[in-house]
Chain A
Amino acid sequence: MENAWLIPLFPLVSFLLLLLFGKKLKEASAFVGILATLASLVYSILVLLERLSEPTYKAETVWLTIGDLQLTAGFEVNQLNALMLVIVSLVSFLVHTYSKGYMHGDERIPVFYAYLGLFTFAMLGLVISPNLLQTYIFWELVGVGSFLLIGFYFYKESAKAAAKKAFIMTRIGDVGLLIGMILLFWQTGSFEYDEIFAAVEEGAVSGTMITLTAILIFIGAVGKSGQFPLHTWLPDAMEGPTPVSALIHAATMVAAGVYLVASMFPLFNASETAMLTVAIIGAFTAIFAATIGLVQTDIKRVLAFSTVSQLGYMMLALGSAGYVAGVFHLMTHAFFKALLFLAAGSVIHAVHTQDIEKMGGLWKKLTFTGPLFLIGTLAISGVPLFSGFFSKDEILIAAWAHGNYGLFWLAVIAAFFTAFYMFRLFFMVFSGEARSEMKNVHESPSVMTLPMVVLAVLAVVAGYVNTPWFGSFLGDWLVEGNEALGHGHIAGPGWIMIVATAVSLLGILLAWMMYSKKSISRDWLSSRAPIVYGIVKNKYYIDEIYNQTVVFGAKAISLFLRFIEIFLVEGIVKLTTAAVQALGKTGAKIHSGQVQTYGTIAFVGLAVLMVIFALTGGYL
């Protein structure tokens, strides 16, 4: 554990190498990236194994000294960090491998792998930061990596716009985080997590201030994790290559917001209002995004909205004091959502379209991708025995046990929607008749299917580390030695599990009847309530509302400032230059070389001086 700081450095080295030699390596760049992340993965697993038996390790050195103030930099390996290290490096490694097949033939493979390396470095650095300042630095680096990768196909206008949108929207959240961080520093005099929590526990910070800082930090998490109302960038971010969506916009970066709230959990836990805010935003986002997911027709967008919805679940768990439930779902979600995205990438790779209306009957043609996608779908829908079932169950129990009954039922409905839209997606893509235009469909190479197999195995078994039946190993381990984080396992009424199972099976049944068996017309709802359908289809017009208000306002201000720039600032500048120029031109004219002109001017000057001398009486 003493050398855990090496873990983020492998991808950084890969990034630098590819920057320098990428042009020469060409497609071989993939191996540099894969090897670097493999090294990180192996090391992360070793660190996790070591952390299972040893206490938290923390190392720091003084980084900056400003007056009396000392800022430190270092790394910390606690339970959450060790777990995140493995999740991030594992998904990153699998995505690196998968990309070798997916990006095959692309000219800019070295650039792609360089960006992936930069992102992985930032994300790994983020999860071992021991203080807020360092977290913030890596937080921004992660944003840069995401920006570069979303805009990877920069020649597409939509990709450029999406990259800018993602960066700006998350920046809005980052401002909240920055202010919260500064306020905390002002109140506690430290950026260190430990010292902040100690100060909060001692009551050195007033209750209002705790609530305020917690909510400000939560705004940062809202931006990064795509929670309402800053969620609009995440679906657009699907413009990036699909492996990137799997890595950044499903498993790691968007989970950074959840990670931040989890690592600041003692602060949040100290304020009832902050917790309630987190829970309400989370639950609302979960159901809100799930309804949008019901009607989308782009395979990646459906998955994007489902990601937003699942992140809402995690927030709900954290807001309901379900620390373990939130982190547990973060882990299982990372596996099954990365699997779904990679499988979706495999489908797109095979049929060259993202529109699910144009797909169908792919089950027989994609003999690997189909079953793998099904496993991911079952896991996310919360079907018993799959990982999503256990983690979702934990969240529901946490919400119920914390007394958030309203939010609990919202989450149950969202679970129903989740099962429905995921199986709608599955049936539309894989069942039914094969379309005639889908002739040359071929299965992806094994370099792409193998990572999916690994994720599929994890999507099935990852849940068993924390079950009500076999014991909550993960939960007990996560909260060990830290009572502020709550209990490893929250006991809840047994019927919750039955309800959760029932709604997910009901959702699957409905989807099957509508999209596979077709005993219920697909237009059953959209024809009866076209207005509702229209609103949901257009994502509640949130983008349009933002365009009409915030973007319009910003444009109006910029137009006004533009006028000031043109007429006021430039006017003054031009006036100055014109005056100097006029002076110069007059001077040049006088300088004619005519000696008599010079004499005349000298004489006139003398005369003027003498007149002045005479008038003032010689006292000037």
Chain B
Amino acid sequence: MSSVPVSAFLALALILFCIGLYGALTKRNTVIVLISIELMLNAVNINLVTFSKYGVNPSITGQVFALFAIAVAAAEAAVGLAILIALYRNRRTVNIDEMNQLKN
């Protein structure tokens, strides 16, 4: 069980985070952007769990934190999607390029 090295977990988290970041910065569909953000959050969760098990000072706190993050992410997804639906009803689009009202 301990044959998997720490670096593998961290590499997985890194790859996941990069995919999420790429998606968040490049995709035009707002739904995809939200999903990408979830990916980045989960990459962070993997990091938290990894260090709580194999860190310099292993402790249960990391796993508790990960659970918190999942709960908050769920709430965030619910609110985000609700806002998105409201926006869609208003603007008839989910294209993120057109959502630039904050400019002025």
A residues engaging B (CB < 8 A)?
591-596, 599-600, 603
Q: Contact: B25 with A593, CB < 8 Å?
A: no
B residues 1-36 touching A (CB-CB < 8 Å)? 21, 24-26, 33
Asked if B57 is at the interface of the complex by the 8 Å CB criterion, the answer is no
Q: Contact: B100 with A593, CB < 8 Å?
A: yes
Return chain B residues, CB-CB under 8 Å to A592.
100, 103
Q: Contact: B103 with A596, CB < 8 Å?
A: no
Return chain B residues, CB-CB under 8 Å to A593.
100-104
If A595-B99, A603-B21 are given as contacts, then 14 extra A-B residue pairs at C-beta distance below 8 Å, sorted by A number, are A591-B103, A592-B100, A592-B103, A593-B102, A593-B103, A593-B104, A594-B97, A594-B100, A595-B100, A596-B25, A596-B33, A596-B96, A599-B25, A600-B25
How near does chain B come to A594, taking the closest CB pair, in angstroms?
6
How near does chain B come to A605, taking the closest CB pair, in angstroms?
13
* 20 interchain pairs, CB-CB under 8 A: A591-B103, A592-B103, A593-B100, A593-B101, A593-B102, A593-B103, A593-B104, A594-B100, A595-B96, A595-B100, A595-B102, A596-B24, A596-B25, A596-B26, A596-B33, A596-B96, A599-B24, A599-B25, A600-B25, A603-B21
User: What are the 4 tightest A-B residue pairs by CB atom distance, in nearest-first order?
Assistant: A593-B103, A593-B100, A596-B25, A599-B25
In Å, the complex CA distance between A593 and B101 comes to 7
B residues 46-104 touching A (CB-CB < 8 Å)? 96-97, 99-104
Return chain B residues, CB-CB under 8 Å to A603.
21, 25
In Å, the complex CA distance between A449 and B33 comes to 104
In Å, the complex CA distance between A593 and B98 comes to 9
Return chain A residues, CB-CB under 8 Å to B33.
596
In Å, the complex CA distance between A181 and B49 comes to 93
How near does chain A come to B21, taking the closest CB pair, in angstroms?
7
In Å, the complex CA distance between A603 and B26 comes to 13
In Å, the complex CA distance between A591 and B102 comes to 10
Return chain A residues, CB-CB under 8 Å to B96.
595-596
How near does chain B come to A591, taking the closest CB pair, in angstroms?
7
B residues engaging A (CB < 8 A)?
21, 24-26, 33, 96-97, 99-104
Residue of A nearest to B97 (CB): A594
In Å, the complex CA distance between A592 and B103 comes to 6
In Å, the complex CA distance between A593 and B25 comes to 14
Main secondary structure of the interface of B (DSSP, over half): helix
Residue of B nearest to A594 (CB): B100
In Å, the complex CA distance between A595 and B27 comes to 12
Residue of B nearest to A597 (CB): B25
Return chain B residues, CB-CB under 8 Å to A600.
25
Residue of B nearest to A595 (CB): B96
In Å, the complex CA distance between A595 and B37 comes to 14
Return chain B residues, CB-CB under 8 Å to A596.
24-26, 33, 96
In Å, the complex CA distance between A210 and B43 comes to 97
In Å, the complex CA distance between A217 and B51 comes to 96
In Å, the complex CA distance between A592 and B98 comes to 11
- Most chain A CB within 10 A, of B24, B25, B100, B104, is at B25
Return chain A residues, CB-CB under 8 Å to B99.
595
Return chain A residues, CB-CB under 8 Å to B102.
593, 595
Return chain A residues, CB-CB under 8 Å to B24.
596, 599
In Å, the complex CA distance between A389 and B26 comes to 110
How near does chain B come to A603, taking the closest CB pair, in angstroms?
7
In Å, the complex CA distance between A600 and B96 comes to 14
In Å, the complex CA distance between A596 and B34 comes to 12
How near does chain A come to B94, taking the closest CB pair, in angstroms?
13
Return chain A residues, CB-CB under 8 Å to B26.
596
Return chain A residues, CB-CB under 8 Å to B101.
593
In Å, the complex CA distance between A428 and B26 comes to 103
How near does chain A come to B91, taking the closest CB pair, in angstroms?
14
How near does chain A come to B7, taking the closest CB pair, in angstroms?
19
Return chain B residues, CB-CB under 8 Å to A595.
96, 99-100, 102
Residue of A nearest to B99 (CB): A595
Residue of B nearest to A596 (CB): B25
Residue of A nearest to B27 (CB): A596
How near does chain B come to A12, taking the closest CB pair, in angstroms?
63
How near does chain B come to A368, taking the closest CB pair, in angstroms?
86
In Å, the complex CA distance between A600 and B21 comes to 9
In Å, the complex CA distance between A596 and B22 comes to 10
How near does chain A come to B76, taking the closest CB pair, in angstroms?
16
In Å, the complex CA distance between A367 and B26 comes to 108
Residue of B nearest to A600 (CB): B25
In Å, the complex CA distance between A591 and B101 comes to 12
Return chain B residues, CB-CB under 8 Å to A599.
24-25
In Å, the complex CA distance between A104 and B97 comes to 82
In Å, the complex CA distance between A591 and B104 comes to 9
How near does chain A come to B17, taking the closest CB pair, in angstroms?
11
In Å, the complex CA distance between A351 and B97 comes to 89
- Most chain B CB within 10 A, of A591, A596, A599, A603, is at A596
Return chain A residues, CB-CB under 8 Å to B103.
591-593
In Å, the complex CA distance between A594 and B33 comes to 13
How near does chain A come to B5, taking the closest CB pair, in angstroms?
23
Residue of B nearest to A602 (CB): B25
In Å, the complex CA distance between A596 and B99 comes to 10
Residue of A nearest to B21 (CB): A603
How near does chain A come to B36, taking the closest CB pair, in angstroms?
11
In Å, the complex CA distance between A594 and B30 comes to 12
Residue of B nearest to A591 (CB): B103
How near does chain A come to B44, taking the closest CB pair, in angstroms?
15
How near does chain B come to A116, taking the closest CB pair, in angstroms?
65
In Å, the complex CA distance between A595 and B99 comes to 8
In Å, the complex CA distance between A594 and B104 comes to 12
Return chain A residues, CB-CB under 8 Å to B25.
596, 599-600, 603
In Å, the complex CA distance between A68 and B59 comes to 83
Return chain B residues, CB-CB under 8 Å to A594.
97, 100
Residue of A nearest to B24 (CB): A599
In Å, the complex CA distance between A600 and B104 comes to 20
In Å, the complex CA distance between A600 and B99 comes to 16
Return chain A residues, CB-CB under 8 Å to B100.
592-595
- Most chain B CB within 10 A, of A592, A593, A599, A600, is at A593
Residue of A nearest to B30 (CB): A595
Residue of A nearest to B104 (CB): A593
In Å, the complex CA distance between A591 and B26 comes to 18
In Å, the complex CA distance between A593 and B26 comes to 15
In Å, the complex CA distance between A593 and B104 comes to 8
